[in-house]
Each structure stands twice: as structure tokens, then as C-alpha cells.
Chain A
Amino acid sequence: MIGASLGAAAYERASEISAILAVANPVGDRRLARLSSRPDVVLALSGIGISFGGVKALSDVDLEVEVGEIRAVIGPNGAGKSSLINIISGLYHADRGRIAIGGQSFSRVPASRLARLGVARTFQNLALFGGLSVRNNIACGRVHTRRASFVEHIAGLPRARSEDAGIAEKTDQIVAFLHLESVADRLVATLPYGLQKRVELARALVAEPKLLLLDEPMAGMTATEKAEMAGFVRAARDRHGVTIILIEHDIGVVMGLSDRVAVLDYGRKIADGTPAEVRADPAVIRAYIGTAEGENGEDIR
């Protein structure tokens, strides 16, 4: 068992080192160092690029996110929004660029340490544990705080019990906060889609993250469900002080909800600013009208 984890660690180190060697952007690095030392910047991306089989999904994207803001990232289909969130959460590894989370700088974010870095996320397609109840799904969101071993769990020793009790209490608070009481003991797979989305938000919030990444939290919802979800997202920021990165298709929701908006198109950031600034930006209008006519009829206003 020890040999295996050593091997895995060595493998991760090796890829980290090669990634560091691959970075040759001293200007960007200095900018990142300056940004990540600022206490009000939770997340700073610098010169992020990634390509899949020769197709550039993202190139040279910079982004900084300040404490307590709701930061939207929008863009037409295939603009690279989900790639961006997957890079921040360590599921994809950027070909170039660096990511600073809360003062620590990475070329590859270690996904297995994400929760301990204070980052939680939801997924575009639901990623819940279908075989567990709603309450247990949410409780899993605090697994990174657990220290008791399986022996302590089986024997019901004090540390395991106090961890369980602490997590149960936090879970209850989130269940109440997101109005999930009536379904808390049901298997999550039996819930309707909109509620499952909400359970995923609950599982992320229960970790008490500093930074919350929401990948299309309202996709596929009805207008009422969207409004409700937007209310929860805003309340999560206002009440828990969590900083939020929101990826969303529905421009109307984004403009009303976010403090600042970054716009991606073909893997490049074409605009960044307050909703009003972005709305007036000619490049944004061009990008969106281009797809609005061509593909899915989205309207920026």
C-alpha cells in the first residue's frame, strides 16, 4: 500500500516538474506572483492554454477573481468555459500558464487536494452518488475534514463519532438552507433533475469552500427553477461569504446575478468587466449575434 502511494506521488511529481519546465512566460509569472500575493484575490489565472488533439480549446486566458464576488464566465458553445473550470479544479492539465489559488501557485492543480485548498465545484452533467441518500451525498462533501480510520468507524470510537456528529450538524444546516428537508432521506437517484442539481450545490456548499465553481448550475431547468437557483447562489455568497465562479449559458440570469463577467469566444477572452460594460462591448455583441443567428438563438439582452 505504501509502495503504491509512493509510486503515485512520484508520478504526480514528475508530471508537475515537466509542466514547470514547459512554462516559459516570465512576464506572466511575475504578474501572477503580484496578483496571488494580493489577499483580496482568491484565484488568478495567467496565460492559460490547452489544446485537444491540435484544437486550441483555450489560449492565453487571464482571469482574476476577488473575494466575495460572483464572477461569471460566459460564451457560446465550445468557447472553452468548461475546459476552464476543469483546469481550475485539476481535472484537465493546462499546456501552458499558471493558476494561483489563495496564494499558492500551480501549473497543475492537484484534484485530490482541491477540497483542502478550499475549492468546491459542481458539474455540468450531474455527478452525484446515486446509491446514497440526499443527506449522505451532502455529508460526503465534508469527507476532506475526516481523520478517523475505518477501524475507528467500525468500532464506533469517540473520534469517528464526533466527526459524524459534526458533519451531521453541518449537513442539517445546508439541508435547511436549500430547503431539501422533505427529500433528505430519499435516494438521490430518485429525485427530479432540478432537485438533483440543488443537492449537488449542497454537497459543494457543505465543504464551506472559499471558492465555489458552478458549471452551468441552471442548465436544463425551467424558468422558475432557474430563478430559485439564482436565489440560492446569491444567498450562498451573501450568507456564507463564498466567492463564486459561475459558468452559464443563460445570459439573462448571468447579467442579473454576477458582479463581473468574462466572455470567452473560440478559447480567447474577448471581454471582461461589469455586466453593463460587457453588454456594451462590440466584440461581445459580434460574437453572440454570430452564434445567435447560427446556432441556438441566445439573446444577450
Chain B
Amino acid sequence: MAVQALDAARLPVDWAKLVQKLALATALFVVAYGVVPAYASGYLVEAILLPFLALSLAAVGLNLLTGYCGQLSLGSSAFMAVGAFGAYNFNLRVEGLPLAVTMILAGISAAGFGVVFGLPSLRLRGFYLAVSTLAAQFFVQWALTKFGWFSNDNPSGVISAPHLAVAGLSLDSATGRYLLSVTTVMVLTALVWRLVNSATGRNFIAVRDNETAARVIGVPVLRTKLLAFAISSFIIGIAGVLWAFTYLRTVEPAGFNLDRSFQILFIILIGGLASIRGAFLGAAFIVVLPLFLSRLGAFLFGGLFDSGVLDMSQRIVLGALIIIFLIAEPSGLSALFDRLKRRIGSRSS
């Protein structure tokens, strides 16, 4: 009881802030479960929201590992593939497995995989670790193409999403898939938020900021790193399930190539390292950028701006933006967002 009294004394409840937070949460729920399913067009859901949600979740997962625990990884796309092909096989080979269980098992497969490919982190760091996670990238793509079993002997290794249903309710429509996706992302993000604000999350940051000091004060450094790899891969694996089942519906191993790993890394670099909100801002940016560029290009250059030019210009713009962010705002969109909020706040008061 004394402790509670102490806590209350230390943290006076800021009612205005609490109300503001509640209002924000309510608005989020109303938009996610009311406005979007009721009003969003099929195009908005299929082409923007579904990839946005899957990539956001993958970025949240990678941010846990790279942003919070400081372990650079280029294997995200491999862990997504393990999740996607894992879920496909669990669903195919186990009769009547509920969708939620399938997804959790897929996440656990990805986690086990992440731990194996995280082992080099016990000895390597930074650039060298990143290169060793490339092994995961190439190994997974090779194994999925080489062994037909993973894709149920499909000649080109392609898998198709199974019928999606929760408690007998079909989720195969665009809205259904959106609801599955948004619920998964919200639940996992809430869990990650709890984690990074707990003692475990602080161990991640301690290992990132000063590994020697962390070891000396008793942080189990090896276990902490492997735990970061496991949890991060679990989340990225489930993001892979969403990517394959709710967004693309049919996917081949080549869809999970190194480009995708880089894309997720760019999301957290642009959005902001060690920031959950940054993962969402970065993913939104990455998803909307090509659409924006194609509209802008068509407007400026008309027919000259074909898909090849679009692809090229997208890479150039993205590359330039990453350089600019790394130099001018290493904390990413998330920090920009904070600054904007403060400026608006100070002007209105």
C-alpha cells in the first residue's frame, strides 16, 4: 500500500491528458471498425490499407529488434516468408485448425527461425550481423523453391490463401480481410507497446546503448538478444501471414526477396527507430509514395511516365529521402510529427 501511495505521489494523474488519450483511442476504434468498413472503397482497402497494415506490423517487429535492441537485420522478408508458408502448411495439413491458432503457430515457426539466425548476434554486431542475416534471406528463398512440399508441390512454388473464417464467419471479402488484418495488428501492437515499456524492453535498450555496462549490471545479454530475435520474428512472421493471406492472396517465394527486407528497414529508418508510431508513419509513407508519384508523374509528363519510369523515380526519391532523413532527422517522421504537434500546441495556447 505504501508503494501505491508513493506511486500516486510521484505521478499525479493528468486528467486532461487521460481524457485526450481516451478520446484518441475511441476515435481510432470508431474509424477502424466503423468508418472504414462502412465507407472505404474496395480500392482503398485492397491497394492501400491491406499492404499498409501488413507492412506496419512487420516494421513494428523489426523496430523491436533493430530500433530497441540495436541488432541490425536484413532478414525480415525471410521471416515473413516463414510465417506465410508456415500458416499455409499448418492450415493445409491440420484439419479444422482455427485461423488464430494457425497464425500463432506460423509466428512461432518464424520465431524459432529467427532465433537460429539470431545466434550470430552473440558474436557479431552492426554491419557484420546484417550480412549474416542475409543468409536467412537466401536460405529461406532457396528452401521454399527447392522443396515442393512447402507449396504443396505447386510447380512454381506459388501458394494461395485458404478460405479465411473466424468462428464460422467468412472473412474472404475485402472488408472481412481488412477486419482480420486490423484486429491482428492492433492486438500485437498493444502487446509490443506493453513489452517495450516493461523491464524487458528496458533490457533491450540497455543492450543497444551499452552492451558492456548492461552485462556488468546483470542484464542477461545473450538471452536478451535471442529474445529480441524471437519476438521480432514472431511478429514479422504474422505480418507475413497477413501479407500473403489478406493482401496478395497468392504469393511465391520470390515475393519475399531482399527488396522486401530493405523496404521494411527503410520504413523504420524513415518512420523513426525505436518508435512504434514511427513504424506506422513509415509504412503509410512507403505505401502512399508510389501512388502519389504515379499521379504526379501522369499529371506532369502524361503518357511518358510509364510504370518503368515510375519504378525508377520511386527508387530515386526513396533513396534521396533516406539520405536526407539520416542526416537531418535521424529520429524520423515520428520526431517530425512530435515537433509539429508541439508547434501547433504552442500556437493555440
B-contacting residues of A (Cβ < 8 Å)? 1, 4-5, 8, 89-91, 111-116, 120-121, 123, 127-132, 136, 139-141, 143-144, 146, 148, 150, 153-154, 156, 160, 163-169, 172, 203-204, 207
Contacts and interface: CB of A to CB of B under 8 A. Distances in A.
Contacts of B156: none
A203 B191 CA distance: 28
25 contacts: A4-B119, A4-B122, A112-B220, A114-B216, A114-B218, A115-B217, A115-B218, A123-B213, A127-B210, A129-B206, A129-B209, A129-B214, A130-B209, A132-B209, A140-B202, A140-B206, A143-B218, A143-B219, A146-B199, A153-B198, A153-B200, A153-B201, A160-B199, A165-B3, A172-B10
Contacts of A207: 217-218
Nearest to A114: B216
B10 A129 contact: no
Interface centre among B4, B200, B216 (most CB of A within 10 A): B216
Given A129-B210, A172-B6, 4 more contacts: A4-B122, A127-B210, A131-B208, A204-B217
A1 B230 contact: yes
Interface string B212-229: 111111111111001100
A91 B217 contact: no
Contacts of A91: 212, 216
A169 B6 contact: yes
A299 to B, nearest CB: 33
- Name the prevailing secondary structure of the B interface residues: helix
B198 A154 contact: yes
A150 B220 contact: no
A148 B274 CA distance: 23
A209 to B, nearest CB: 10
A70 to B, nearest CB: 21
B205 interface: yes
B218 A144 contact: yes
A132 B231 contact: no
Contacts of A114: 216, 218
Given A127-B210, A153-B200, A116 B194 contact: no
Given A132-B206, A165-B3, A120 B223 contact: no
Give the size category of B's interface with A. 35 or more
A150 B122 CA distance: 20
**Which of B194, B210, B218 counts the most A-chain CB atoms under 10 A from its CB?**
B218
Nearest to B274: A131
Contacts of B122: 4, 8
Nearest to B191: A154
Contacts of B210: 127-129
B205 A129 contact: yes
A190 to B, nearest CB: 14
A143 B115 contact: no
Nearest to B119: A4
B195 interface: yes
B203 interface: yes
Among A136, A140, A172, the one with the most B-chain Cβ atoms within 10 Å of its Cβ is A140
Contact of A150 (B198, B205, B212, B219): B198
B206 A154 contact: no
Q: Which of A90, A116, A154, A168 has the most chain B CB within a 10 Å cutoff? A: A154
